[in-house]
Amino acid sequence: MGDQFRGLYPVGVTPFDESGAVDERSLKRSIEFYIEAGVNGIAHVLGGSEFFTLTDEERHLITRVVVETVNHRCPVWIGVAGVSIQHTVELAKHAEQSGAAAVVSMPSYIRMPMSQTETEEYYRALGAAVKIPVVFQNALAPSGVPMSAEFVSRLLREIEHIDYVKEETKNPGRMIAAIQHLAGKSCKGILGGAGGRYVLDEYRRGACGTMPYPHVPEVQAAVWTALEANDWEKARSIFLRLLPLYNLESRFGTVLCKEILHRRGVIATTKCRAPGLMPLDAIDQEELSGALADLRGLFTCHPPFE
């Protein structure tokens, strides 16, 4: 459909300075980097953004900075998962008032797992609070609460503004196909998550987009562009060159993403707030250098980005 959100929507990181404060300059530079890379939209204040370590004031700040920096050049999706229905509603209203094109939320990340009744109440309140699309984030524990295709599709059919799904449970491609079949026209689109590792299968099964980490966005954009052009040979060729990096990413997540963005001159430090993250050791750093070398010639974005 013509008004469908579609394509590459990377989840932006939250840069911090060495003191642990939000680094606004690096944040703006990262947004310019994503746009230069050819993304179709930008998502922020989600898990890869370390949203659960941010104060509400910081979440509001990041929302404002991202929306203002993008300045209508692409849609901005803002994560609004909160500790309660009331908290999520407040965050969603702020995101809408700030100019977000959509809001993204998993069920409350404090009560795990929420019952289906609680989850339905949560999304009904969220759908009633805003007039922009709501993206149902269906994710695995411990950060998410995985829901069945039948349950997710029912909410898509019954609740106004619950229009999209970010699908990243086990075997996401089959879930994407099942939800679309059950929800019909009530589902405007489903995007894959999980770092983009399953994008080829997800695309075959009807995904309208992908939401990976943003460390190599121009390479990920090249994969998506090839898929849209039905050039599977090119898409697979580029994707295979990404696999060593994706293997590292599956172990290190945000730590790896920030290391790459730092190496590429996008953010000033690799500082993370999220507890329990495993740092890269010397061998990991060597493996990363090799994985990035495999992508030589595909990097088209270079500093400065401001």
> Which residue from 98, 134, 127 is spatially nearest to 5, judged by alpha carbons?
134
| Residue that is written with structure tokens 């606004």 in the block | 24
Q: For residue range 167-191, list pLDDT tens digits in order.
A: 999 999 999 999 999 999 999 999 9
CATH number of the structural domain 7-293: 3.20.20.70
Residues 20/24/27/28 CA torsion (nearest 10 deg):
-170
- Residue ranges per structural domain of the chain: 7-293
Poorest-confidence range of 30-34, 70-74, 136-140, 236-240?
Answer: 136-140
Instruction: For residues 119 and 19, give the distance between their C-alpha atoms in angstroms, rounded to a whole number.
Output: 37
At residue 1, the pLDDT reads: 42
Q: For residue range 100-138, list pLDDT tens digits in order.
A: 999 999 988 776 678 889 999 999 999 999 999 999 999
- Any bridge partners for residue 40, and if so which? none
Instruction: For residues 30 and 32, give the distance between their C-alpha atoms in angstroms, rounded to a whole number.
Output: 5
